[in-house]
Amino acid sequence: MSDNKTKSLLETAEKLRWDVGSTFHEGVVESIYADAAHIADRAVNQKEKSSYFDLDRTIDGLVTSRLFGFPLMVLMLTVVFWLTISGANVPSSMLATLLLDNLYPLLKTASSTIGLPWWLDGLLIDGIYLAMGWVISVMLPPMAIFFPLFTLLEDLGYLPRVAFNLDNMFRRSGAHGKQALSMAMGWGCNAAGVIATRIIDSPRERLIAIITNNFALCNGRWPTQILVATVFIGALVPAHLAGIISALAVVTIALLGIVLTFAVSWGLSRTVLKGEVSTFSMELPPYRPPRILQTIYTSIIDRTLPVLWRAVLWAVPAGALIWTSSNVVMGDLSIAENIVEYLNPFGILIGLNGVILLAYILAIPANEIIIPTILMLTVLSSRMDSFGAGAGVMFELDSLEGSLAVFQAGGWTLLTAVNLMLFSLIHNPCSTTIHTIYKETGSAKWTLISSLLPVAMGLTITFFVAQIWRLVGGVG
């Protein structure tokens, strides 16, 4: 074709574009769809359904009814948590016995037999190995139970109904109903929750879901909550009420997390992530009998193991850091003690203490090792010789009385306990989650915001709680 001809053709095309108007494109798309629908209607025969009884409709009527919809959701969630926590106890302690009580002394003996220098032995076995062992024994069993249960509910078709029920509340806070699902996933593990936000199409609402996922109290933080609640809050009431009161305290914290999720979503969608809530069009699939074996297999391969593997990798630097900081001496004290001294005034000001703050810095890689780290650091800095296994060696105590004794020696009060529970809910995500957020958003800015926003909130909230507590005469 000659150049002239091309040019005049292009010019005609350009002119025609203005003549056909702005809705031309959509008109074409619509007529293509209409044709497709017409062909399908002609060629496909629909089976007549019996109108007497439709199981799907009956179930839907129940799970989305005004009366039973929300109670059923809470019930379902409670059952999942109860199965997770009570079911994980036994395998967790078995793993702990194997990795920490049996294998650890064996490794120690082996290293002294081959004559490893004390610092290498400490760094590798007391630091890195113990941190890894701890993460595996605390993290693996609950995740191996929670994720398959969660996937089963998903497979069954129940979870889309949860999003359907909750969408209105999320819409009002400027977020998407599917955030209900990523939030629920976050109760298992925030890193998995962040990955689960992929189901949200709109980038704005997906970011909101990612940033607020940290307010879903993850499995790794439940043990801290339960221990502190039992030791301090359960002790306030008569023994027969202790169990229920401390359980209620933990549930209150988890509910506070949900409230914060809505509040922060609301705040974000009115400031940095301004915008209208995009559309909600979600298929509510028919109920199907779940494929149990396949579900368990895929959820362990796709969700549990990758998350666990990343957590174990992150435990390596954490363990090394914890051991090194408590064993390298600067001046008269170890690095860890120096930092604790330095952080203590600020820690006390916000109703915590230097040990807790340092533990939260050292244990950024994994929330699972918070309690062992706090115990070890408390024993180290208050020079108690009757507990623990030496500087930099994390441990946990079998008896609640033992934990209480250590905490009291560290100067803990009821305020410390309450603020620790608050701070455990409202602080930076663990490094596994931060890493995942970076991979999912591809943006250093949003990763930074998701990491720093909760810490800033946590410090502010604990600060105000502490001041008001002291003002009304509480001891702290």
Partner 1 sequence: MSNPILALTYASLLLATSFVLFRPDEGLFWQWQRQRQLTHRVLSEDALKHIYKNELINNVTTLDSVTGAIGISGNQTAILLNEMAKHGLLQVEGTEFNLTKRGRVSALHILRAHRLWEHYLAEQTGFVESEWHERAELHEHNMTLDDIDSLSNSLGNPTHDPHGDPIPTSRGDLVYHGGIPLSSQEIGQRLHIVHLEDEPKTLYSQLVALGLHPGMEIQVLEIGQHFVRIWAAGDEHVISPLLASNISVVPVSEPDLDDMDESERLSNLDIGQSCRVMRISKQCRGLERRRLLDLGVLPGTVIKAEMRSPSGDPTAYRIREALIGLRKEQASMISVVPL
Residue ranges binding partner 1 (CB under 8 A): 14, 17-18, 21-23, 25-26, 29-30, 33-34, 37, 46, 57, 60-61, 64-66, 69-70, 160, 163-169, 171, 177, 202, 204-205, 270-272, 274-286, 348-349, 460, 463-464, 466-468, 470-471
Q: CB within 8 A of 32, min separation 6: which ones?
A: none
Q: How many CB atoms lie within 10 A of CB 182?
A: 26
Sign of CA dihedral 177, 178, 179, 180: positive
Whether the Cβ atoms of residue 365 and residue 314 lie closer than 8 Å to each other: yes
Q: Report in angstroms how near the CB of residue 239 gets to partner 1 at its nearest.
A: 33
Q: CB-wise, 26 or 398, nearer to partner 1? A: 26
CA distance 318 to 431: 10
From the CB of 471, what's the least distance to partner 1, in Å?
5
Q: What are 329's strand-pairing partners?
A: 334
Question: Which residues does 141 contact at the CB level (< 8 Å), separation at least 6?
Answer: 87, 88, 91, 92, 95
Closer of 64 and 111 to partner 1 (Cβ): 64
**Angstrom distance (rounded) from CA 245 to CA 249:** 6
Residue with Cβ nearer partner 1 (350 or 376): 350
Q: Which residues of 106-129 are buried (b: 16+ CB within 10 A; e: fewer)?
A: ebbeebeeeebeeeebbbbbbbbb
- H-helix or E-strand spanning residue 168: helix 158-172
Contact (Cβ atoms closer than 8 angstroms) between residue 322 and residue 394: yes
Instruction: Please tell me the distance from the alpha carbon of residue 103 to that of residue 23, in angstroms, as a whole number.
Output: 71
Q: Are 326 and 334 in contact, with CB atoms under 8 Å apart?
A: yes
Neighbours of 13 (CB within 10 A): 9
Q: Which is closer to partner 1, CB of 349 or CB of 414?
A: 349
Question: CA 352, CA 428: separation in Å to the nearest integer?
Answer: 16
* Closest CB 264 distance from partner 1, rounded Å: 14
Q: How far is the CB of 275 from partner 1 (least distance, A)?
A: 4
Is 26 or 385 the residue whose CB approaches partner 1 more closely?
26
For residue 325, the minimal CB distance to partner 1 (Å) is: 27
Q: How far is the CB of 33 from partner 1 (least distance, A)?
A: 5
Smallest distance, partner 1 to C-beta of residue 64, A = 5
- In whole angstroms, the minimum distance from the beta carbon of 183 to partner 1 comes to 16
- By beta-carbon proximity to partner 1, the closer residue of 67 and 239 is 67
Nearer to partner 1, 22 or 399 (CB): 22
Which is nearer to partner 1, 126 or 167 (by Cβ)?
167
C-alpha span between 77 and 42 (Å, rounded)? 45
Minimal distance, residue 443 CB to partner 1, in Å: 16
| Two structure tokens written together for 435 | 């890493």
Nearer to partner 1, 165 or 246 (CB): 165
* Whole-number Å distance between alpha carbons of 185 and 299: 12
